[in-house]
Amino acid sequence: MKSHPLYPYLAAVLSMLLWGMSFVWTAVLLEYYAPVTIIFLRLSISTLFMFIILKITGSFQQIKPRDYRLFLLSALFNPFFYFLGENYGVKLTTPTISAVLIATIPLFAPIAAWIVLKERLSRLNIIGFVISFAGILIMLLNRDLHFESSPLGSAALMFAVFSAVIYSIMLKKLSDRYAPFFIIAVQNLLGMIYFLPLFLIFEFQHFISIAPTIEVISSFFALAILCSSLAFVFFTIAMREIGVAKANVFTNLIPVFTGIFSYFVIDERLGKQKIFGIIIVVAGLFFAQLGRYRSLKKLK
């Protein structure tokens, strides 16, 4: 049975909603724990949850020997490299600023997709990218046209961006051979293994010295189940159906959701300038996807 053509777009929006919230939950946890601890525990809970589901549903798949290297490399770039850059970026800046910089992924993903996967973009896609980037700058700059972000924090976040772009290419190849839920479960397991030595050597003593609160526990489970499990599954489904470049355009929605969520949860100020930037970002998203909707209409 063929799925509804709007399902991939709904999956993309849901993944961005959850990832937008993840910056706020991460900011909450950074008040108690160091970045590697947060990532390791987040991946550990997510891996346990996903493998239990795979066991219950009997959805395990046999990984082909030729794909071992691809799984290992993809997990190295995401979650390992990506989460290192993202968490240190959130620690040194703010949730909204971090989300804005992460939202530059669509500006680099089309270039990588064009080089590696030979995906083509229409003029509307390019116009949408430009408009969205303008909205991102409006949200990122203050009234004096200075960036509201530390250089080191920005560098960490850009490292996460480039890691995500490379990961997207690898994920596209894997999604043609394996189910999305299985892919993310394996990658989270590998990511947890990558982070284990760093956690034990540098942060374990600090971890056991903290008494977790209800807020901490709920934030960990939200990150693990919603953001590290379901959001990645939704994004993999979207990317498999509409392509790397078009799926990554939805990343522009992350700072929108983060700004709104930050305002209600941690009282981060959402001024008129940020609201205007949000509107521009959404407008750019509309233009970038308009070509796709036209294609679907012609098929009907």
d(CA 154, CA 150): 6
The per-residue pLDDT for range 93-151, each reduced to its tens digit, is 888 878 878 877 776 776 676 677 666 666 777 787 788 778 877 876 766 656 666 77
d(CA 40, CA 107): 29
The per-residue pLDDT for range 41-62, each reduced to its tens digit, is 999 999 999 999 999 999 999 9
d(CA 269, CA 272): 10
Task: Check: pTM over 0.85? Answer yes or no.
Answer: no
Q: What is the pLDDT of residue 283?
A: 81
Read off φ and ψ for residue 162, nearest 5 degrees.
-65, -30
Q: What is the pLDDT of residue 286?
A: 73
Read off φ and ψ for residue 64, nearest 5 degrees.
-75, 140
Angle of CA points 41, 185, 116, to nearest 5°: 115
CB-CB contact of 175 with 239 (8 Å) = yes
Residue matched to tokens 């960990």: 220
Nearest Cα residue to 170 out of 246, 80, 67: 67
Dihedral sign (CA 193, 195, 200, 201): positive
Lowest mean pLDDT among 30-44, 250-264, 269-283: 269-283
The per-residue pLDDT for range 161-200, each reduced to its tens digit, is 999 988 988 887 898 899 989 999 999 999 999 999 999 9
Look at residue 297 and tell me whether its pLDDT is greater than 60. Answer: no
Tokens of 19: 């990832």
Look at residue 219 and tell me whether its pLDDT is greater than 70. Answer: yes
Q: What is the pLDDT of residue 299?
A: 43
Q: Work out the pLDDT band at 300, boundaries 50, 70, 90.
A: very low
Average pLDDT over residues 226-240: 88
Residue matched to tokens 């909450």: 28
Q: For residue 141, give the DSSP letter.
A: B
Q: Mean pLDDT, the chain, as a whole number?
A: 85
Alpha helices in 30-104 (DSSP H): 35-57, 68-75, 82-92, 95-102
